[in-house]
Amino acid sequence: MKKIVILISGAGSNMAAIVQAAHQQRWDQRLGVQVAAVISNKPGAAGLDWLRSQSAYSAIQTDVLEHAQFESREAFDQALMKRIDVHAPDLVVLAGFMRILTPGFVAHYAGRLINIHPSLLPAFTGLNTHQRAIDAGCQFAGATVHQVTAELDHGQILAQAVVPVLPGDTADKLAARVLTQEHLIYPAAVAAFFKP
């Protein structure tokens, strides 16, 4: 059985979408894949609470590794790799994991580390993507699933969803519309990663 480890920092809505898709679409039987663990760098992450409250997903292990407990980004990433590697993952999925990863971490999982970013990459890397799209007068925004490389929000594009920017849009309104598309394309991209 191939294994997925998902990293989160907060609400974990993309994690939940992936976990639900894996269950409903029977990835274990169809693709020989299971979500093995969800790890957060924040003990109060709502996504962990949600997962622990769902009896259907009780086989998925949860773990917390607080980044604030470490003196450096490198020390945290080394400790995180050890926690992840216990599960021998075939794919590591960043689902709202709000940490910039060290080159050593990215190299360790090269070719099996993916992220979702709330813009149509290569446009608007980094933060505040929705407001920046509105400020730039874009007619469209969206989300991108991509392979993670040492360069922030770069790497091979695996999937994208396009959302119109509507008159009177605020960053929050646009973010909410983009998020509904993220919940569709991220599970599909994860499943596609394992299709022969």
Q: Which of 42, 67, 57, 51 is nearest to 13 (CA)?
A: 51
Q: Annotated catalytic residue: which of 23, 87, 108, 117?
A: 117
Other beta carbons within 10 Å of 124: 21
28 Cβ contact list (under 8 Å, min separation 6): 1, 22, 34
117 catalytic? Reply is yes
What is the distance between the alpha carbons of residues 67 and 41, in angstroms, rounded to a whole number? 6
In this structure, are residues 162 and 120 in contact, taking their beta carbons and an 8 Å threshold? yes
Just list the catalytic residues.
Answer: 117
